[in-house]
Amino acid sequence: MTNPVTTRRDGAVFEITLDRPKANAINVPTSQALYTAFAEFRDDPSLSVAILTGGEGRFFSAGWDLKAGAEGEAVDAEHGPGGFAGLTELWDLDKPVIAAVNGLAFGGGFELALAADLIVAADTAEFALTEVTLGIMADAGGVLRLPKRLPLPIAMEILMTARRMGPEEALRWGLINKVVAKDDLMREARALAQTIAANAPLALQAIKAVIKATLPLDVKEGYRLMRSGAIPSYDAMLKSEDALEGPQAFAEKRKPEWKGR
C-alpha cells in the first residue's frame, strides 16, 4: 500500500504532502500517518516551519473518507494523538504550520487547513464545511475555530448551509494570507516559510505558544499569564543563547547565527 503522506526537508523547512488519490480523503491510518509527520516536525530541533499541502489533483483534501465510513469506520473513530488528520488536536505543537491549499478543501480538509497557522491558497481553491449535509457537524475543529476567525453570522452561514467559499472571499475576510496562481502555490508557500525560518526558532515557538495561551484573555490578563512562568516556550526564549545572539549580531552588523537554544 502506498504511503498517503510524504515528507521533504529543505533546511529548517519541513514539507508534508497528503497524497491519497483521488480526493486526499482521510481515514484513521491516514490521520495516523499525518500525526507521525507532524510529530517528527515537532520533535526535531533543526526544523522551524512546516508546509502542508495536497498531492496532484483537484483536492487539497475532501475530509473524512466516506467510503471508510460506509465500510464501518465510525464518525467518532479514534484518529490518534493529534486528532483527526494528525493536527487538529496536536496541542503541544508550538512551531508554525503553513497550509498550501492547492484545491478543494471540504469538510475535514477545511478543518485541517484551519488548524494551520497561515494559509496560502491557489486561485482554484474552495472551502466548505459539508458535514451538515451528511447528518453530522464539523466537530474536528470547524465549529470551534471558524467562529474565532470569521464574523459570527458568516461562520454560522458556512457551518449551516455547507456553501462553498472561494479564495477571494476567504482573503477578504482575513481567513487566508494570500491567493496565488496554482502553478505558483508551492513557490509562494516556500518563500513564506523561508522568510519565517530565517528568524530565531525559539522566538517563533514563543509567539505561537503565547498567542495560543492568551488569545481568549484581555490584554491585562494576557500579560499576567505570559509573565507567570506558565508558558515554557516563552521562558525558554528569554533565557536562550539566541536572545543574546540577536542583539550582538545587530551591533556587529552581521547576520545572526541561531542555535535554537
Catalytic residue ranges: 111, 131
Q: Could you please report the per-residue DSSP string of the chain?
A: ---SEEEEEETTEEEEEE--TTTT-B-HHHHHHHHHHHHHHHH-TT--EEEEEE-SSSEEE--B-HHHHHTT--TT----TT-GGGTTT-TT--S-EEEEE-SEEETHHHHHHHTSSEEEEETT-EEE--GGGGTS--TTTHHHHHHHHS-HHHHHHHHHH---B-HHHHHHTTSSSEEE-GGGHHHHHHHHHHHHHTS-HHHHHHHHHHHHHHTTS-HHHHHHHHHTT--HHHHHHHTSSHHHHHHHHHHTTS-------
